[in-house]
Structure 1
Amino acid sequence: MEVFPAPHRGTGDAIASSFNRITGILAPVIKIVTTSATGTAVSGASANGSIFVSAALFIVSAVLMMFLPIETAGKAAM
């Protein structure tokens, strides 16, 4: 049994995959922009800022997943 119909799952999967590829391309660019040539943070920003942002996004996504409906046996998907 699925919580979401197949077309919605396919669209969500495609959007998530696209976002994954885009952010994967941007990750090195963000690191280059936020780090100086000597390896220290630029303009007083924390060099670990990207780690903290990533951790915050993981926590937010975990909380949002708790609001998804629970799959139940015996119910039709559509």
Structure 2
Amino acid sequence: IASHTGDMLKVAGNASGNFVLDIKNTGREPVSAGAPLQVVQTGGGDAAFTLNGGKVDAGTWEYVLSKENTNWYL
């Protein structure tokens, strides 16, 4: 998160079900919140994603998961 890069889960087709993401920071603190970081991309469906613990703690900044269309961002 500190360098505003990370893994992304890509689902080419529709996704359904409930999923928990376990996202860890590298330990380095980001200098700013920056733009949203996409962590999930789906082709559609009604999948629901949540964060293990409800947030990612990156020192000064805390990140929560938000949905935009069929994609999810920190």
Tell me which interval the TM-score lies in, with the shorter structure as reference length. under 0.3
Q: State the TM-score, normalized to the length of structure 1.
A: 0.24
Give the structure with the larger helix fraction. Answer: 1
Bigger radius of gyration: 1
Higher relative contact order (CA 8 A, sep 6+): 1
